[in-house]
Amino acid sequence: MNPKNELDIEFEAAVKRVNDYIEPFPADFLLRLYAFYKKATNDYSRPNSKKPIINAFKTNALFQVKDISQDEAKQEYIDLVNNYFLYRK
């Protein structure tokens, strides 16, 4: 087992920051987080919301990140989270 690199440590910290935050996030932000998280963790399971429209939005978000690498997805997730908390009201 190889030791965690800096990117993995930052990614896990960003995920924890999102999970620990109690205020609601904007829907478009959540969709982008969802797509980058799924790509970053190599989770290719299908969206499983009870609402078909939510699944459609999630599927579209995943499609938009299909051409980036796992590490790029981790970095995008980190950047998205950092920017959100830096610029939120």
pLDDT digit string (tens) for the chain, length 89 residues = 567 899 999 999 999 999 999 999 999 999 999 999 999 999 988 898 899 999 999 999 999 999 999 999 999 999 999 999 998 75
Q: Is residue 79 part of a domain?
A: yes
The pLDDT value given to residue 1: 53
Domain that holds residue 57: 6-19+27-87
Look at residue 1 and tell me if it is in a domain: no
Q: Which residue has the tokens 């609601």?
A: 24
User: How buried is 30 (Cβ within 10 angstroms: 0-12 exposed, 13-18 middle, 19+ buried)?
Assistant: middle
Q: What distance in Å separates the CA atoms of residue 49 and residue 71, rounded to the nearest whole number?
A: 27
Q: Which pLDDT belongs to residue 87?
A: 87
Name residue 76's amino acid. E
User: Count of domains in the chain?
Assistant: 1
Flag whether 52 is in a domain: yes
User: The domain spanning residue 80 has which CATH number?
Assistant: 1.20.80.10
Distance CA 18, CA 16 (A): 5
The predicted model scores a pTM of 0.90
pLDDT of residue 23: 94
